[in-house]
């Protein structure tokens, strides 16, 4: 694996190897991650052309725990604002001896463009591109599911909400189907479920109650208003009434079902506060697992595994 751009096309062996490598970094209480020297002397450049809290910070922590030198470019204050192109920005940062670029961009395909232009020893990790892919989020989601449910082969997983604009949904679907998940469902209003879902091997539900019935895992997605035109924008109140996950509706899933969410959460829109903070929520453990998973990805692409 030279770059990590998508979960699409990754084999079950590679996905499992990344999850196992991540697990190897976790030493205490299934949570704590010790500092290791695997990327000592390497430079990791975090380039977030789109805002982020979780991904950017956990990549920063992960690179630091691998003993890399970490540089997070302040894009708003960079010369991109003076018209410097993406590839010229990359060329100049490469001249500062970058080894790994972690890239988030609102344009689908931006990390692919960068990967085509960097030197062979430089690695690109996609931290979310447009509505296309968010592979490290999918990997930390797989890590979380495996942590709580052990085996994918008997699981029914529902992905609920604005699937149309979600790079997380697409990356999760590719990873879940490759890992042998028994049933993947997408649940949402017709206007927010893309037409190609059946071809991706998932069952489509336009009713929340039917969609989460008997599920082992419920992955909630926020409405990505920043990617919607006016015609698609539902009112928050109407959306919550039909597709908001409440404690009552969650009872339709299995009693031991876990609730996940990539964040950021919009409480009272796609999910009730009582579910976010409830016993079945593993939303914050997902964030914690993201550190070990991103350590695994960077150490594997750089060829310096534990």
Q: Which residues are annotated as a binding site?
A: 54-55, 82, 104, 134, 137, 167, 222, 263-264
Annotated binding site for carbamoyl phosphate: 54-55, 104, 134, 137, 263-264
Q: How long a stretch of residues is the chain? A: 306
Q: Which is nearer to ligand CP, 128 or 211 (CB)?
A: 128
Taking the least distance from each CB to ligand CP, the nearer of 52 and 64 is 52
Does 41 help bind ligand CP (rule: CB under 6 A)? no
- Closer residue to ligand CP, CB minimum distance, 252 or 265: 265
Which listed residue (53, 116, 191, 207) binds ligand CP by CB under 6 A? 53
What is the smallest separation between the CB atom of 264 and ligand CP, expressed in angstroms? Answer: 6
CB of 151 to ligand CP, least distance (A): 25
Nearer of residues 263 and 285 to ligand CP, judged by Cβ: 263
Q: Min. distance of Cβ 248 from ligand CP in angstroms?
A: 27
Q: Quick check: 268 binds ligand CP (CB under 6 A)?
A: no
Q: Does 285 bind ligand CP (CB under 6 A)?
A: no
From candidates 263, 281, 292, 302, binder to ligand CP by CB under 6 A: 263
Q: And the tokens for 75?
A: 């894009």
Using CB under 6 A, pick the residue from 17, 54, 213, 254 that binds ligand CP. 54
Instruction: Give min distance, CB of 174 to ligand CP, in A.
Output: 17
Which residues in the 113-172 window bind ligand CP by CB under 6 A?
A: 128, 137
Q: Alpha carbon 163 to chain centroid distance?
A: 13
**Size of residue set near ligand CP by CB under 6 A:** 10
Cβ atoms within 10 A of the Cβ of 2, count? 15
CB of 281 to ligand CP, least distance (A): 15
Q: Determine, following the binding rule CB under 6 A, whether residue 262 of this chain makes contact with ligand CP.
A: yes
Task: Kindly write down the DSSP assignment for every residue of the chain, as one continuous string.
Answer: ---B--STT--HHHHHHHHHHHHHHEEETTTEE----TTTT-EEEEEESS--SHHHHHHHHHHHHTT-EEEE--GGGSGGGGT--HHHHHHHHHTTT-SEEEEEESSTTHHHHHHHHS-TT-EEEEEEETTTB-HHHHHHHHHHHHHHHS-STT-EEEEES--TT-HHHHHHHHHHHHTT-SEEEEE--GGGS-GGGGGGT-EEES-HHHHHTT-SEEEE----GGG--GGG---HHHHHHHH-B-HHHHTTS-TT-EEE--S---BTTTB-HHHHTSTTB-HHHHHHHHHHHHHHHHHHHTT---
**Min. distance of Cβ 92 from ligand CP in angstroms?**
25
- Residues in contact with ligand CP by CB under 6 A are 52-56, 128, 137, 262-264
């Amino acid at each position: 694996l030279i770059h990590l751009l998508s979960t699409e096309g990754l084999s079950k062996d590679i996905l499992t190897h990344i999850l196992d490598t991540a697990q190897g970094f976790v030493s205490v209480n299934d949570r704590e991650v010790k500092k290791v020297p695997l990327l000592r002397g390497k430079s990791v450049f975090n380039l977030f052309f789109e805002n982020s809290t979780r991904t950017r910070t956990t990549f920063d922590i992960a690179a630091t725990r691998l003993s890399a030198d970490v540089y997070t470019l302040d894009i708003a204050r960079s010369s991109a604002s003076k018209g410097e192109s993406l590839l010229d920005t990359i060329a100049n940062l490469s001249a500062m001896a970058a080894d790994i670029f972690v890239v988030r961009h609102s344009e689908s395909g931006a990390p692919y463009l960068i990967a085509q232009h960097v030197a062979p020893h430089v690695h690109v990790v996609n931290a979310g591109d447009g509505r296309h892919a968010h592979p490290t989020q999918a990997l930390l989601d797989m890590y979380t599911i495996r942590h709580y449910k052990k085996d994918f082969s008997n699981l029914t997983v529902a992905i609920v909400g604005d699937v149309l604009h979600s790079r997380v949904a697409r990356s999760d679907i590719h990873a879940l189907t490759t890992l042998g998940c028994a049933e993947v469902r997408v649940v949402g209003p017709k206007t927010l479920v893309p037409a190609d879902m059946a071809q991706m091997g998932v069952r489509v539900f336009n009713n929340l109650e039917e969609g989460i019935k008997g599920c082992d895992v419920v992955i909630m997605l926020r409405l990505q208003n920043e990617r919607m035109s006016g015609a698609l924008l539902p009112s928050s109140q109407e959306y919550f009434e039909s597709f908001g996950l409440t404690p009552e509706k969650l009872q339709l899933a299995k009693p031991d079902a876990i609730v996940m969410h990539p964040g950021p959460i919009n409480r009272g829109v796609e999910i009730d506060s009582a579910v976010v903070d409830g016993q079945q929520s593993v939303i914050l453990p997902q964030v914690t697992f993201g550190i070990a998973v991103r350590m695994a990805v960077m150490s594997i692409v750089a060829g310096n595994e534990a």
